[in-house]
């Protein structure tokens, strides 16, 4: 029987908001050992080599356009607060691309996407008609867009990720995915109840994710991430070719709860490990 996500998510949100904000929020850094970035959403000029073409990858099965131009895409979902700052640049000259449309979408703490049936581990949850964790922004003069969102959850067959699309003149020029350090994901999933998934352990890491390893340079799509006053700030410079159009076959990747066929390919070694100083997580909502 199909289960609406609203009741269970409201219950989870209440539990997290009342029981975990006090016990887990802290000023103490949990990103020791990871590189940090400045709080500004404009990064390319300060990062040598940043203006490379961002790897193209599959769109996945859950893209919809809800026509929601908005910065805050959380819609009250529970999880760890994440500010997402992206900068769109012309990879040919490292120039900011003003006016570029950027769409983002990703799974919530439970591993569910909005707007679709067949969600959850049992494929029995419907989120049809909902629009959480989806939104659109248009790049400012510096090529920057920003979203207030949540750290993404996991589902079978995929490592945590955020999807994005960049449009120029109503045509898509890049479809990509943004990735996170495994150590930080493991820490958040272990410490924050909203991500608990009934004690289930995720089955796919950055090293074993077939989409990441198969994107031909996808490891350049890892965000820079740091703790800030309210949660985490993730940033990425998206290098595009304004004359390009995506190749065919961009849709793909396993839906939530369905791992890819065959053994996962071996990926590059993981980024530097994080050594969290305790069980305190900032920005829990």
Tens digits of residue pLDDT in 217-266: 666 899 999 998 889 999 999 999 988 765 444 444 444 444 333 333 33
Count of domains in the chain? Answer: 1
Instruction: Give, for 6, the enclosing helix (H) or strand (E).
Output: helix 5-19
Residue 227 lies in a domain: yes
Residue 264 lies in a domain: no
Best-predicted range by mean pLDDT (12-26, 86-100, 165-179):
86-100
In the chain, the percentage of residues whose pLDDT exceeds 70 is: 66
Residue 269 lies in a domain: no
Domain range enclosing 225: 3-240
Residue 249 lies in a domain: no
Contact present, 176 and 102 (Cβ < 8 Å): no
Pull the structure tokens for residue 256: 């939530």
Pull the structure tokens for residue 110: 């439970």
Residue 283 lies in a domain: no
Residue 273 lies in a domain: no
What radius of gyration, in Å, describes the C-alpha atoms of the chain? 18
pLDDT band of 214, cuts 50, 70, 90: confident
Residue 231 lies in a domain: yes
Report pLDDT digits (tens) over 33-80.
Answer: 333 333 344 455 555 566 788 888 877 667 878 789 999 999 999 999
Lowest-pLDDT range of 41-45, 79-83, 142-146, 197-201: 41-45
Distance from C-alpha of 236 to C-alpha of 56, rounded to nearest angstrom: 14
Q: What is the pLDDT of residue 37?
A: 33
Residue 277 lies in a domain: no
Q: What is the pLDDT of residue 281?
A: 60
- pTM for this prediction: 0.73
- CATH assignment of the domain containing 206: 2.60.130.10
């Amino acid at each position: 029987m199909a289960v609406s996500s609203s009741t269970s998510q409201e219950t989870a949100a209440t539990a997290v908001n009342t029981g975990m904000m006090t016990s887990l929020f802290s000023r103490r850094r949990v990103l020791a050992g990871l590189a940090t970035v400045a709080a500004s959403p404009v990064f390319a000029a300060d990062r040598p080599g940043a203006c490379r073409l961002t790897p193209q990858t599959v769109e996945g099965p859950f893209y919809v356009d809800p026509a929601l131009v908005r910065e805050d895409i959380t819609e009250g979902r529970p999880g760890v607060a994440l500010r997402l700052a992206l900068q769109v640049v012309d990879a040919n000259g490292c120039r900011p691309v003003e006016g570029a449309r950027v769409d983002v979408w990703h799974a919530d703490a439970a591993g569910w996407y909005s707007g679709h049936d067949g969600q959850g581990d049992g494929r029995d949850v419907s989120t049809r008609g909902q629009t959480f964790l989806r939104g659109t922004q248009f790049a400012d003069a510096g090529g920057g867009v920003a979203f207030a969102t949540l750290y993404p959850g996991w589902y079978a067959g995929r490592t945590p990720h955020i999807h994005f699309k960049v449009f120029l003149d109503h045509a898509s020029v890049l479809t990509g995915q943004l990735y996170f350090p495994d150590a930080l994901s493991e820490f958040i999933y272990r410490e924050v109840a909203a991500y608990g998934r009934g004690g289930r352990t995720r089955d796919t890491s950055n090293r074993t994710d077939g989409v990441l390893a198969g994107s031909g340079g996808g490891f350049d799509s890892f965000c820079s991430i740091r703790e800030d006053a309210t949660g985490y700030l993730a940033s990425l410079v998206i290098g595009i070719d304004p004359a390009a159009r995506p190749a065919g076959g961009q849709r793909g990747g396993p839906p939530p709860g369905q791992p890819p066929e065959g053994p996962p390919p071996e990926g590059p070694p993981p980024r530097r490990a994080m050594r969290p100083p305790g069980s305190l997580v900032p920005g829990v909502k």
